[in-house]
Structure 1
Amino acid sequence: MIMMGKLKYKIQVNPEKTARAMGRNIPISRKHAREICKSINGMKLDEAIKFLEDVIAMRRPVLFRRHCKKVGHRKGKLGWPAGRYPVKAAKAILKILQHAKANAEYKGLNTEKLRIKHISTNKGITIKRYMPRAFGRATPKFQETVHIQVILEEYH
């Protein structure tokens, strides 16, 4: 039997002024999740939601700064040439942001004055599958998952 530890938040914050949300074992790319989280960290919540909706509609690219090898350039003055439209990861992170916003609303925080204090990704479990092939062989078909944690705080 495998014992799983409790996944804790990376930073400790004042619970009266913050709201948190976490998504575990989300089947999206770790690289895409990292680049999106890096892009929206520190943004106001409404701006981040608008940014992710634009990424899903393929109107605005996510800048790929670390994982940018063989990534096509995007037009426009973005400050960095390489970018992509990771739609699946953007949908998953948008859902987590909406959960964090609902948690803030439940706590009585002003949802119009929220900003993303902390957002990070961690490696989740790898779902291992094998696809049978010819002559008795098998090809591995591994699916990676990601843990995402968000902390929103009220600014003045």
Structure 2
Amino acid sequence: MRGYSIKNLPEKYALARLKEEDISLKDAVNIAHFLKGKKLESAKNILDGVIEKKVPVPYFRYLDSVSHRKGIGPGRYPVKAAKAFKRLLNDVSANAEFKGLSENLLIYSIAASKGRVIKKYTPKAYGRAGAFYKELINVDVVVTEEGQQ
């Protein structure tokens, strides 16, 4: 399993991966930290709330100028990243169903990491161009049956 963030897998598991997704690394890291250890259906409901801007994602890292949210502390509503995570959780749910796992699934491991960097250019005055770099993100998720760890 080259490229995955987890080495020791449980006995019954399902996994999925988003490769080179155009989302913010800071948002992805905080969403992954928020969802780890939660039930799969609960995590999907949480992401629906984030997309509707009703449930904030608490930030534990990259806190510079992150506003306080009532009841959770610093947090935001990263809609674009939440949509990507929702798609990933739907994929891992389908993989678990294909493997014959039960409906009670826990998120055993979820990790966001840097992917490929693309160098792009923006036009400037007098025929010049300025370079900027677009960082892509990889996200892995492993789910297990409840009580399996």
C-alpha distance after superposition, 1:59-115 (max 9, x if no partner): 01001111111111112x22xx2110000000001101110000000111112x100
Question: Does the alignment pair 1:132 with 2:128?
Answer: no
For residue 119 of structure 2, what is the amino acid of its counterpart?
A: K
- Give the structure 2 partner of residue 61 of structure 1: 56
Query: Would you tell me which structure has more strand in proportion to its own residues?
Result: 2
Structure 1 consecutive aligned stretches of length 4 or more whose deviation exceeds 3 Å: none
Query: Hey, what does 2:6 align to over in structure 1?
Result: 10
Task: State the alpha-carbon separation in 2 of the partners of residues 122 and 64 from structure 1.
Answer: 17
Corresponding position of 1:150: 141
Give unpaired runs (5+ residues) of structure 2: none
| Cα distance in 2, alignment partners of residues 11 and 115 from structure 1 | 18
Unaligned runs of 5+ in 1: 1-5
Partner of 2:94: 102
1:35 is paired with a residue of what secondary structure?
helix
Q: Secondary structure of the residue that 1:70 maps to in structure 2?
A: coil
Residue 141 (structure 1) shift = 3.1
How many percent identity over aligned positions? 38
Equivalent in the alignment of 1:3:
none
Partner AA of 2:121 in structure 1: Y
TM-score of the superposition, structure 1-length normalised? 0.89
SS in 2 for 1:91: helix
Tell me, yes or no, if structure 1 residue 121 matches structure 2 residue 116.
no
Task: Name the aligned partner's letter for residue 99 of structure 1.
Answer: D
SS at match of 1:37: helix
| Alpha-carbon distance in structure 2 between the residues aligned to 1:89 and 1:130 | 24
Q: Distance in 2 between matches of 1:66 and 1:23?
A: 22
2 CA distance for matches of 1:88 and 1:108? 31
Distance (Å, rounded) in 1 between the aligned partners of 2:142 and 2:43: 13
CA contact (8 A) 2:10 2:144 kept: no
Offset at residue 136 of structure 1 (A)? 3.0
How many residue pairs were aligned?
146
Aligned-partner Cα distance in 2 for 1:71–1:137: 35
Give the SS at the match of 1:82.
strand
Distance in 1 between residues matched to 2:131 and 2:69, nearest whole Å: 34
The CA RMSD over aligned residues, in Å, is 1.2
